[in-house]
A and B are shown apart, each in its own frame.
Chain A
Amino acid sequence: MKAKTKGRDLSKDWSYVNGWYLVIPLIFLVIFFVAPLCYMAYISFFEFNGVGKPLGDFTLSHYKEFFTKSTFWLILVRTVALGAASTILCVVLGYPISYKISRMRGRWRSVLMALVVLPLWVSMTIRMFGWMSILSTNGLLAKTLQSLFPGRDIKLLGSYTGIMLGLIHCGLPYFIMIMVGPIDNVDISYEEASYVFGAGFMRTFFKVMLPLTYKGALSGAILVFSLNTAAFLVPMMLGSGKIIVMTNTIYQQATYLYNWSFASALAVIFMVFALLITSLSRKTGRKTGSRSDLA
């Protein structure tokens, strides 16, 4: 119940985040995020005459070029597929770890959380160099796999497997960190009740835990998907330059071919697709969430 005095809503007065305090971050966002984004979208509709030169005539040719060439579609599909597959694996691998951490108390919980966060303290470039040495033909992983499957030519560096491993490595800590909270909020007595009424582990997980933590998992998955589809260094370094995704294509257009308008059009298309996929996931999440609430 809201406290009211002489018709005024006191909760608004006492809010730490009332309208005025949002002005500064909003101005920052508008200047450094929204304005460049709008400018990028703007130049994608004009002919590009060179860096530092005035834009040419209005044109839709950049968008037409993307939509009429299968090579660009292939790159987009590859980017989304890599992002989606790595996200699914992050969810599958990350959920049990988050569960275990959230059910722990005391020093070990802190130690495990620190271990999860630890990779994020190291620069991405250095981590990828580490992965390059692990995945190389004479690296630890490739050598182990070669001893397990003798006679097979195992190439991890410069392959989709290598990129997937890198993307999972990058996304997993974020998913685990996000999931610890939602799982922690589910009282363990719910699980105990489920077991008391005869449900096994699988039934308890799918009928109790998953519906109760679904929204958290979805938020984590969307974050990991956003990070992984926008990954630049991972496909560049672990793909050995042989697997190109949207970010690398945009970079190539902007810094090698200096076609900023086409690079902008690619960025806009990429952003719209990512937003569409994200909003579709949220809608599906809401429907599933409401179904599980009813159940």
Chain B
Amino acid sequence: MKKIISALLCLAMVLCLVACGNAATPSSSPAEPAASEPQAPAESSSAGTEKPYAGQTLVVQVWGGTYEETFKTYAAPMFEELTGATIEYVLGSTPIAQLGAEGENPSVDLIHGDAAEIVRGEEMDLFAVIDKSKLSNAADLYEKAFEYPEAIATNWGTYGIAYRTDLVEKAPTSWFDMWDPQYAGGKVGIMDLGMGGALEMADVVARTQGYECADQENWDNLFAKLAELKPNVGILASQHADVEAMLEQGDVVMCVETNGRAINMMRSGLPVGFCMPEEGVPAMTSYIALTKHSHNLDLAYIMADILISPEVQKAYAENNYYAPSNSKAEVAEDLRGFMPYGEDQVDLLVYIDAAAVEAVKPAFTERWNAIYK
């Protein structure tokens, strides 16, 4: 009897596992998307009082913190009002590996990413080619916004040096001010690989040597210069919050930081300044991409169109200090100096060749680790 009961228990467990496995599979086959034909947002908005997508859910990955706040405050309500659908959030960095493993059943419909993540995603065939005809705001975007066929640049920030105005004798003006021997003993914070700002800093250094950071023939020179910075490095940050905490406590007196986060620190009352170094200001481009096998591609297009609309772009500029990619987004005069506002300014930024870097990343990482870790 005991054996029969145990066998039944085992059978029940196996059935449970099978049932769970089936539950994870969407009801519609990936080969025959239930999402039917994606519709242009303009058509969706003309649906009158009927909410065309009521009951549906769009899964969006967004970076946590202030970026998420602006998304939830401005973009999400517009989307929900327009479509009747709800948004499920995946907070944190772009789940490239996860999407790769999920294949034709992606768990996320719309992602945010930087250039490296977009290049990696394109290589892995994760994203849908952007159909501009489905975006009513596409015509108003700067040309630079469509640099990659499978992504749209939503806004631009910059990388520079945030510094404690009360702890440095002279405000930095150059990237190489971080190399100053007076900051030996770990008074400088830089970003670790995997975080934006690390490769960009290396790229600017390489450009002063007449190369770019992906050019392996210059690596001996480049890494020799980067090694000179080591005595000054107090942290190789894997989170912005870590280096900001050290800057706030005075453990480091200057660090690589984005304009938006530095301005937020300034506005919170901290004695912090932000320098856009004379050798060049690397772009911190925020992209969105739609997953290729998304079952909600039409909804994802509507969300993308909202994110590049002048209203939402203005909200990101005013709250996060990231410059819009939509030429129709008007930002208040007093805020324009905080960001690369306007197409001319955007074109002046230094853009890392993400595809070239991607090809040499393992070797670059090995040499970076050998120096700093």
Tell me the A residues contacting B by CB distance below 8 Å: 20-21, 23-24, 27, 31, 50-53, 71, 132-133, 136-139, 153, 155, 157-158, 236-237, 240-244, 249, 252, 254-259
Of B95-103, B138-146, B310-318, the one contacting chain A is B95-103
How many Å lie between the Cα of A18 and that of B297 in the bound state?
53
Which residues of chain B in 182-198 are interfacial with respect to chain A, using CB atoms and an 8 Å cutoff?
A: 185-186, 192-194
How many Å lie between the Cα of A3 and that of B233 in the bound state?
71
Chain A residues with Cβ below 8 Å from B373 are: 241-244
Q: Across the two chains, which residue of chain A brings its CB closest to B7? A: A20
CB distance from B151 to the nearest CB of A (A): 18
Chain B residues with Cβ below 8 Å from A52 are: 100-103, 124
Tell me whether chain B's interface is mostly helix, strand or loop, or mixed.
helix
Counting CB contacts under 8 A, is B369 at the interface? yes
Counting CB contacts under 8 A, is B28 at the interface? no
Contact of B97 among A21, A24, A132, A258 (CB under 8 A): A258
- What are 9 inter-chain pairs, A to B, with CB distance below 8 A? A20-B6, A23-B9, A71-B369, A242-B235, A249-B369, A255-B194, A256-B193, A256-B365, A257-B361
Chain A residues with Cβ below 8 Å from B361 are: 256-257
Chain B residues with Cβ below 8 Å from A242 are: 233, 235-236, 372-373
How many Å lie between the Cα of A155 and that of B10 in the bound state?
56
Counting CB contacts under 8 A, is B54 at the interface? no
Instruction: Report yes or no: B10 in contact with A23, Cβ–Cβ below 8 A.
Output: yes
Instruction: Report yes or no: B362 in contact with A257, Cβ–Cβ below 8 A.
Output: yes
CB distance from A73 to the nearest CB of B (A): 13
How many Å lie between the Cα of A256 and that of B242 in the bound state?
19
Of B69-77, B219-227, B243-251, B299-307, the one contacting chain A is B243-251
Query: Contacts A52-B100, A237-B242, A241-B237: A136 and B251 contacting too (C-beta < 8 A)?
Result: yes
How many Å lie between the Cα of A21 and that of B13 in the bound state?
13
Chain B residues with Cβ below 8 Å from A255 are: 97, 194
Counting CB contacts under 8 A, is B17 at the interface? yes
Counting CB contacts under 8 A, is B267 at the interface? no
Contact of A50 among B2, B124, B362 (CB under 8 A): B124
B12-48 interface code vs A (CB 8 A; 1 in, 0 out): 0110010000000000000000000000000000000
Tell me whether chain A's interface is mostly helix, strand or loop, or mixed.
loop
Chain A residues with Cβ below 8 Å from B123 are: 50
Contact of A27 among B2, B10, B362, B365 (CB under 8 A): B10
Contact of A137 among B97, B251, B372 (CB under 8 A): B251
CB distance from B107 to the nearest CB of A (A): 13
Instruction: Report yes or no: B10 in contact with A252, Cβ–Cβ below 8 A.
Output: no
CB distance from B258 to the nearest CB of A (A): 18
Query: Contacts A27-B10, A50-B123, A252-B365: A20 and B2 contacting too (C-beta < 8 A)?
Result: yes
How many Å lie between the Cα of A249 and that of B362 in the bound state?
12
Counting CB contacts under 8 A, is B344 at the interface? no
How many Å lie between the Cα of A254 and that of B365 in the bound state?
13
Chain B residues with Cβ below 8 Å from A31 are: 17
Chain B residues with Cβ below 8 Å from A249 are: 369
Instruction: Report yes or no: B192 in contact with A51, Cβ–Cβ below 8 A.
Output: no
How many Å lie between the Cα of A33 and that of B246 in the bound state?
39
CB distance from A194 to the nearest CB of B (A): 50
Chain B residues with Cβ below 8 Å from A23 are: 6, 9-10
Instruction: Report yes or no: A257 in contact with B365, Cβ–Cβ below 8 A.
Output: yes
CB distance from A47 to the nearest CB of B (A): 14
Counting CB contacts under 8 A, is B366 at the interface? yes
How many Å lie between the Cα of A257 and that of B97 in the bound state?
10
How many Å lie between the Cα of A236 and that of B195 in the bound state?
14
For the complex of A and B, list the 10 residue pairs with the smallest distance between their C-beta atoms, beginning with the closest: A51-B100, A241-B236, A20-B6, A244-B373, A240-B235, A52-B100, A241-B192, A256-B194, A137-B251, A136-B249
Chain A residues with Cβ below 8 Å from B236 are: 240-242
CB distance from A130 to the nearest CB of B (A): 12
Chain B residues with Cβ below 8 Å from A252 are: 193-194, 365, 369
Q: Across the two chains, which residue of chain A brings its CB closest to B103? A: A52
Counting CB contacts under 8 A, is B324 at the interface? no
B338-373 interface code vs A (CB 8 A; 1 in, 0 out): 000000000000000000000001100110011011
Instruction: Report yes or no: A254 in contact with B362, Cβ–Cβ below 8 A.
Output: no
Instruction: Report yes or no: A241 in contact with B186, Cβ–Cβ below 8 A.
Output: no
Q: Across the two chains, which residue of chain B brings its CB closest to A249? A: B369
Chain B residues with Cβ below 8 Å from A244 are: 369, 373
